[in-house]
Amino acid sequence: MNIVVVVRQVPDLIEPLEIVPTGDALDLDTASFILNESDDHALEQALLLKEAGGGSVTVVALDFGDVDNTLYTAVAKGADRIVKIACDGDTPPAARDSAAVYAEAIKPLEVELVLVGVQAHDELDGGLSPFLAAALELPYVGVIRGVKAGDASGTITACKEFPGAVMARMSVKLPAVLGILGADQPPRYVPVSRIRGAMKTAQFEESAATLAAGELLLSVSRLYPPAPATRAEMLSGSEEEIAGRIAEILAEKGLVK
């Protein structure tokens, strides 16, 4: 099965987020970037499918943030091809515009399955994955946790997650696009030495796809952190002091007997 995985760089939420002086966007110069978590799962799922049934995994990304490292890591994990799409400007495009350029890059790859993380925390205009499916004119289902080869040729079975740890097993005729929430197993660890090895041997393919801004359907007028916590009474002191205070609160409420 020939699989394409789209990976995105997103601001690392562990680091403080700054806002530009105009107040309508994140200051990405001060942000550090990481691989979007559900895209990491999409890559893992692709590698698992390849290992189980053969084929190839091509990883496609916009040239933004720390993408080189992400792509080399993908090769070190087992990806066969890495494709970069030029991305001018300081900010990544909106999901819908991204979908158009990813579609342009993916169409020549004769793909059977496209896997994309179902959500990225810096998207306000919806998921990339369904927009990409629409741009590729392929069927789509998202919020998928686990994919297997199907019983019939040219099909896969995908588990769609619902509340209460309930899954819907869906049969998918290929080609298709899936929005991945989680892979069948956690993303694999890859030693730094193998990433360094990939840096020496792997070659980026540059896509000729070009990014064009579409009609602005959604515009951010103000970005701001939520008001500080108003409900939580903050406990201070050493860990032991805080532990003692929590134990006291629980005892007062009859939760420690």
Partner 1 sequence: MSAQDVLVLAESRGDALADVTFELLAAGRELARATGGEVLAVVLGPGGAAHAPALAVADRIIAVDDPRLAEYSPEPFASALREVVEAEQPRAVLIASTSIGWDVAPLLAARLDAPLATGCQEICLDGDGLMVTASFCGGKMLAECRVAASPAILMMLPGSYRPTDETGKGELEQRKPAAPLEPGAIAFEQWIYPEAGDVDITQQDVLVAVGRGIQQHDNVELAEELAQALGGAVCASRPVVDQGWLPATRQVGKSGMIVKPKLYLALGVSGAPEHQEGMKGAELIIAVNTDPKAPIFDVAHYGAEVDMLDLMPALSEAIAARKG
Q: Which of residues 88-107 bind partner 1 (CB under 8 A)?
A: 96
Q: What is the nearest approach in angstroms of partner 1 to the Cβ of residue 20?
A: 12
Q: Do residues 46 and 5 lie in contact, with contact meaning Cβ atoms separated by under 8 Å?
A: yes
Q: For Cα atoms 159, 165, 167, give the angle at the middle one, nearest 5 degrees.
A: 25
Q: Find the binding residues for partner 1 in span 18-37 (CB under 8 A).
A: 19, 26, 37
Of the candidates 71, 112, 73, the one whose C-alpha atom is nearest the C-alpha of residue 207 is 71
Q: For Cα atoms 55, 39, 111, give the angle at the middle one, nearest 5 degrees.
A: 35
Among residues 95 and 198, whose Cβ is nearest to partner 1? 95
3-state secondary structure of 208: coil
Q: Find the binding residues for partner 1 in span 56-95 (CB under 8 A).
A: none
Range 37-65 burial, b when 16+ CB lie within 10 A, else e:
bbbbbbbbbbbbbbeeeeebbbbbbbbbb
Kindly state the number of chain residues that form the binding site for partner 1, as judged by CB under 8 A: 87
Chain centre distance of CA 94: 14
Counting Cβ atoms within 10 Å, is residue 99 exposed (0-12), middle (13-18) or buried (19+)? buried
Q: What is the nearest approach in angstroms of partner 1 to the Cβ of residue 37?
A: 7
Among residues 169 and 196, whose Cβ is nearest to partner 1? 169
152 binds partner 1 (CB under 8 A): no
188 binds partner 1 (CB under 8 A): no
Contact code string over 121-150 relative to partner 1, x by CB under 8 A: xxxxxxx-xxx-xxx---xxxxx-x-----
Q: What is the nearest approach in angstroms of partner 1 to the Cβ of residue 239?
A: 5
Q: Which range touches partner 1 (CB under 8 A), out of 70-78, 84-92, 201-209, 241-249?
A: 241-249
153 binds partner 1 (CB under 8 A): no
Q: What is the nearest approach in angstroms of partner 1 to the Cβ of residue 106?
A: 16
Q: What is the nearest approach in angstroms of partner 1 to the Cβ of residue 105?
A: 18
Q: What residue has token string 């959500």?
A: 119
Q: Which of 92, 119, 198, 209 binds partner 1 (CB under 8 A)?
A: 119
Give residues with Cβ within 8 angstroms of 102, minimum separation 6: 6, 60, 62, 85, 128, 132, 135, 209
